């Protein structure tokens, strides 16, 4: 397939993208098989082994309750990726649908969606997320909703622009002329056509979604102890930085950085494959 050949070309030109794909695969494995691969039970406390530095027995050391940090970091992959992924999908569904409708129909739809997006953008995004989680309740599902809401304007804007361009396109005309109703044209023809660009947006915002979720849990929103999640682990480790037990915060933080870095590179690589014109 042409796309595959083009993808191979981009990967050969840009080994860093290949690295990103490799990292992504690693994270995927950790997310899916994490609990099976963890050497220790991530929830098991062991007071005798508390606050031990990294060693052969505990690669990332132990935390204040004696839990193995490596196991916790590994298992946390699933939760962090799941939260980010869910919020990105939700943002996409809300944003792409409204954006496409706004770009395609124009008029009132356009104005309403635009006003909604502008109102969201009038807030500093992280602050709005804080407010939403505070209002809806301190649960993980609300982290997903809050992150999705603050990403909504971006998806709506991109989808709107793309739908606008395609409104008069040949294949859309053809679909209309074959008797499809407007809704079917929109969902069955326009939306699938913009999927590649949407996928680029999704991978580009995955990194941001991970950061956002981790930030919220760092300040105590969403995930509660004893659940293993990178943000909350860094928060727990923060208390011990001043007494020198650096490993409790470092490893989850490094995992976080690596994940965000991986998704950013992935997004850039996907964009180069699908739409090189957007490169800066």
Partner 1 sequence: MLKLFLSRLATAVPSIVGVVVVTFMLTRLLPGDPAAYFAGLAASPQAIAEIRTKLGLDKSLPEQFAAYLVDLAQGNLGNSLSTGQPVVTEIATRLPASAELTLFALILAVGIAIPLGVLAAVKQGTWIDHLCRIVTTAGVSLPVFFTGLLFAYVFYYLLQWAPAPSGRLDVFLSPPDHITGFYLIDSALSGNLEVFWGALRQLALPAISMAIFSLAPLARMTRGSMLSVLGSDFIRTARASGLAPGTVVFTYAFRNAVLPVITVLGMVFSFLLGANVLVETVFAWPGIGLYAVNALITSDYAPVQGFVLTMAVLYVALNLAIDLLYGLVDPRVRLDS
In the complex, minimum distance from the CB of residue 1 to partner 1, in angstroms, rounded to a whole number: 30
Q: Which of 51, 128, 187, 274 binds partner 1 (CB under 8 A)?
A: 128
Rounded to 10 deg, the angle between the 191-218 and 125-136 helix axes is: 80
- 269 forms part of the interface with partner 1 (CB under 8 A): no
- 144 forms part of the interface with partner 1 (CB under 8 A): no
Site string for partner 1, 205-244 (x = CB under 8 A): --x---x--xx--xxxx------------x--xx--xx-x
- 85 forms part of the interface with partner 1 (CB under 8 A): no
> 159: burial class by Cβ within 10 Å (0-12, 13-18, 19+)?
buried
**By C-beta, is 193 or 264 nearer to partner 1?**
264
- 83 forms part of the interface with partner 1 (CB under 8 A): no
- 261 forms part of the interface with partner 1 (CB under 8 A): yes
DSSP line for the chain = -HHHHHHHHHHHH-HHHHHHHHHHHHHHHHHHHHHHH-SS-TT---GGGTTPPP-SSSTT-B-TT--BHHHHHHHHHHHHHHHHHHHHHHHHHHHHHHHHHHHHH-HHHHHHHHHHHHHHHTS-HHHHHHHHHHHH-SSHHHHHHHHHHHHHHHHHHHHHHHHHHHTT-HHHHHHHHTT--HHHIIIIIIHHHHHHHHHHHHHHHHHHHHHHHHHHHHTT-S--TTS--HHHHHHHHHHHHTTT-THHHHHHHHHHHHHHHHHHHHHHHHHHHH-GGG--
- 169 forms part of the interface with partner 1 (CB under 8 A): no
Q: Could you tell me which stretch among 68-76, 77-85, 117-125, 163-171 binds partner 1 (CB under 8 A)?
A: 117-125
In the complex, minimum distance from the CB of residue 135 to partner 1, in angstroms, rounded to a whole number: 4
**By C-beta, is 55 or 239 nearer to partner 1?**
239
- 137 forms part of the interface with partner 1 (CB under 8 A): yes
**By C-beta, is 11 or 150 nearer to partner 1?**
150
Q: Could you tell me which stretch among 76-84, 135-143, 188-196, 270-278 binds partner 1 (CB under 8 A)?
A: 135-143
Which residues here bind partner 1, judged by CB under 8 A? 115, 118-119, 121-128, 130-132, 134-137, 207, 211, 214-215, 218-221, 234, 237-238, 241-242, 244, 246, 249-250, 253, 256-257, 260-261, 264-265, 280
């Amino acid at each position: 397939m042409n796309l595959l050949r083009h993808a191979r070309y981009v990967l050969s030109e840009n080994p860093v993208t290949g690295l990103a794909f490799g990292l992504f695969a690693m994270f995927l494995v950790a997310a899916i098989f994490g609990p099976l691969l963890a050497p220790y039970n991530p929830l098991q406390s062991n007071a005798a082994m508390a606050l031990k530095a990294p060693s052969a027995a505990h690669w990332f050391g132990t935390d204040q309750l004696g839990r193995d940090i490596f196991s916790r970091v590994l298992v946390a992959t699933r939760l962090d990726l799941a939260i980010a992924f869910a919020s990105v999908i939700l943002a996409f569904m809300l944003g792409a649908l409204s954006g496409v409708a706004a770009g395609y129909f124009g008029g009132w739809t356009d104005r309403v969606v635009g006003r909604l997006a502008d109102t969201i953008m009038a807030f500093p995004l992280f602050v709005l997320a804080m407010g939403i989680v505070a209002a809806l309740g301190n649960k993980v599902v609300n982290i997903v909703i809050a992150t999705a809401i603050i990403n909504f304007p971006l998806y709506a804007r991109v989808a709107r622009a793309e739908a606008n361009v395609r409104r008069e396109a040949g294949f859309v005309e053809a679909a209309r002329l074959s008797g499809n109703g407007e809704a079917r044209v929109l969902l069955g023809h326009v939306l699938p056509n913009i999927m590649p660009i949407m996928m680029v947006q999704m991978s580009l915002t995955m990194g941001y979604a991970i950061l956002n979720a981790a930030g919220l849990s760092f300040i105590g929103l969403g995930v509660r102890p004893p659940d293993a999640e990178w943000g909350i682990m860094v928060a727990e480790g923060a208390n011990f930085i001043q007494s020198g037990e650096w490993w409790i915060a470092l490893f989850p933080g490094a995992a976080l950085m690596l994940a965000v870095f991986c998704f950013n590179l992935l997004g850039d690589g996907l964009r180069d494959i699908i739409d090189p014109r957007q490169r800066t």
